[in-house]
């Protein structure tokens, strides 16, 4: 009698164990967020400069295409940066290759956008700032 109860318990245990595996295999996969869909930044950086706060988001959307959003929120007493566009420079990491400055598109006051195709896929570094002060972020561009 005791053996039979034990056998049933073992059988139930095995059933639960197998069931958990089957459930894992069959349930719908969790949504995977990838940087390449253009909604989640590939890289971003926020820097507090002496005149305000600078936020940069880089979206490497594949095929060497890159979009970059820049926001600058000047402090109330900002003097230097009023009406200025940030300086932007792209360069490759660990490569002796000339950097370049892409054209900036002014979306609204303090908001700029960059759209470009990089000359090469790989690890890039971008500087965004005003004069001596800048934010720097690295990203991998497929
Ligand atoms: Cu290169």
pLDDT for position 35? 45
Q: What is the pLDDT of residues 17-53, one digit of tens each?
A: 666 666 666 655 544 444 456 689 999 999 999 999 9
Which residues have C-beta within 8 Å of that of residue 82, sequence separation ≥ 6? Answer: 74
Give percent of the chain with pLDDT exceeding 90: 61
Ligand 1 centre and the CA of 111: distance in Å? 29
pLDDT for position 31? 45
CA distance 18 to 29: 19
Ligand 1 centre and the CA of 99: distance in Å? 9
Q: What is the pLDDT of residues 112-136, one digit of tens each?
A: 999 999 999 999 999 999 989 999 9
Question: How far does Cα 69 stand from its chain's mean position?
Answer: 11
Ligand 1 centre and the CA of 92: distance in Å? 6
CB 67 within 8 A of CB 114: yes
Helices of type H across the chain: 2-26
CA distance 60 to 48: 24
Give the SS3 label for residue 37: helix
Please list all protein residues whose beta carbon sits less than 5 angstroms from ligand 1, which is an ion: 92, 95, 97, 120
CA distance 64 to 122: 9
């Amino acid at each position: 009698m005791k053996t039979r109860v034990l056998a049933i318990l073992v059988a139930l245990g095995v059933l639960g164990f197998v069931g958990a595996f089957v459930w894992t295999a069959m349930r719908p996969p969790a949504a995977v967020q990838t940087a390449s869909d253009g909604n989640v930044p590939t890289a971003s950086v926020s820097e507090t400069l002496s005149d305000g706060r600078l936020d940069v988001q880089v979206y490497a959307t594949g095929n060497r295409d890159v979009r970059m959003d820049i926001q600058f929120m000047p402090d109330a007493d900002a003097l230097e940066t009023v009406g200025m566009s940030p300086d932007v420079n792209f360069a490759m990491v660990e490569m002796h290759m000339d950097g370049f400055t892409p054209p900036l598109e002014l979306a609204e006051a303090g908001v700029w956008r960059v759209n470009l195709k990089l000359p090469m896929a790989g690890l890039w570094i971008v500087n965004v700032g005003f004069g001596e002060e800048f934010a720097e972020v690295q990203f991998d561009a497929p």
